[in-house]
Amino acid sequence: MATQTTAERARTPRRDERRVVSNIVRGSIGNLIEWYDWYAYTAFSVYFASVFFPSGDQTAQLLNTAAVFAVGFLMRPIGGWVLGRYADRRGRRAALTLSVTLMAAGSLIVALTPSYGSIGVAAPILLVAARLLQGLSVGGEYSTSATYMSEVASPGRRGYYSSFQYVTLIAGQLTALGLQIVLQQVLSPAQMESWGWRIAFVVGAAGAVVVLWLRRGMDESESFERAASEGEKEQSGPARGSLRLLLSYPRQCLVVVGLTMGGTLFFYTYTTYLQKFMVNTSGIAKPTAAWINFFALLVFVVLQPVMGLLSDRVGRRPMLIAFGALGTVVVVPSLTLLSHTSDPGYAFLLMVVPLAVSSLYTSISAVVKAELFPTSIRALGVGLPYALTVAVFGGTAEYVALWFKNAGHENWYFYYVTACVLISLLVYIRMRETSDASPLDEGVSRSRD
């Protein structure tokens, strides 16, 4: 038997690390395209609302597109269940490939569907069908990519590598916003409303095709391959990826719900809702609010790997406790001060500081969930409880905030967010350190840098 030379043994870890990076990059690019397609709908809905719905009041048309967006959001738990189950049974790579295929199909349908004036009621029906596919896709993408990135990452650097899930999530949002800004500069408003908005969805569908090719070259995670091999030998008990098996881990499911509740509500408050808050409450001009949002999100993106790397040094639980403690303190003063200022620099500061606090949670939320479950149920365990919680708290954040504002008690929303973060803080305090004796380390020799 040939033996490795000293030089060959030295090169092996470097080759392994390069393979890890290659898999993370392929998974991350796919995640970016998925979230770009998801956010492109919101970014360009102001232009295509009149195309898919009867002519009339613009607000009514926008409400119709918003309702379709909500339908897609409600599909995310179903996507987390269906694709999470598929990932636990057929493999992470297969589920990620299916996920991006569904997203590509949804984007292509939106891009090619004729107007209401051409095909009548079939136009909004096709729009709803496309959004259902995209909601199904993005619900499964989160659980499967979180699982895959955590499983293929090097032991001792899982926090760092898995943080790129939120890097690409926000990057997808920024890409959609950036394309909108570019198209607004080169096309007239009439061109944007007529056909220019379709470019965004053609770009999304084309990007998804590229991702399909990239993901075909991804390695299947060793954790899944090992679990699948062991599962073939042991046929007794609930099947891999089944709801019955998931329900045998009630504590882990409740932990996912508890740690997600405050984190997702805080995240959606300071990302998707805050731009509208600046315009409606602070009185900041729409273009200015858009630029504040853009640059604050850029800072937020940069912080993700920094915080992920820090969690590999100090652990996940201290990071979550820090988020919970700071989050309960920062919400009321930041939103109160923001509601009384129209200064762009001050508004940027009042947005970026809470986002820095949020990064303590977002950077590690994926790996924390993955570290709770064994391989046989990991994708479903990460996806379903998370998606249900996001649908209830994250998906309703904007609606609840506007409801309080309409009722004349906007500041009550500030306390609602604070209360949810406080509940999550109690969960963080009581939960164990997930990076210690994690199921992710089964069959893997653990080494810390």
Helix, strand, coil distribution of the chain in percent, nearest 5: 85, 0, 15
Residue whose C-alpha is closest to residue 365's, from 267, 259, 249: 259
Architecture of domain 247-436: Up-down Bundle (1.20)
Task: Please give the radius of gyration of the chain, using alpha carbons only, rounded to the nearest integer.
Answer: 22
Please state, in angstroms and as integers, the Cα–Cα distance from residue 365 to each residue in 25, 27, 70, 285, 368, following that order.
19, 17, 24, 34, 5
Class of domain 23-220: mainly alpha
CB of 423 within 8 A of CB of 106?
no
Q: Is the CB of residue 312 less than 8 Å from the CB of residue 367?
A: no
> If the chain, 449 residues long, is cut into consecutive pieces of 10 residues, what is the mean pLDDT of each piece?
44 64 80 84 76 64 60 80 86 86 89 86 84 85 82 82 87 86 85 88 88 79 76 60 85 93 93 82 83 90 94 93 96 94 93 96 91 86 88 82 84 95 96 81 49
What are the distances in angstroms from CA 188 to CA 12, 54, 437? 55, 23, 58
Q: Which two tokens stand for residue 287?
A: 């273009």
- First-residue to last-residue Cα distance in the chain: 32
Predicted confidence at residue 7, as pLDDT, reads 46
- Tokens standing for 67? 């309702």
Domains 23-220 and 247-436 are alike in CATH topology? yes
pLDDT, residue 262, reads: 95
Q: What is the pTM of this model?
A: 0.82
| Domain extent listing, the chain | 23-220, 247-436
Taking Cα atoms as reference points, which of 170, 162, 159, 134 lies closest to residue 146? 162
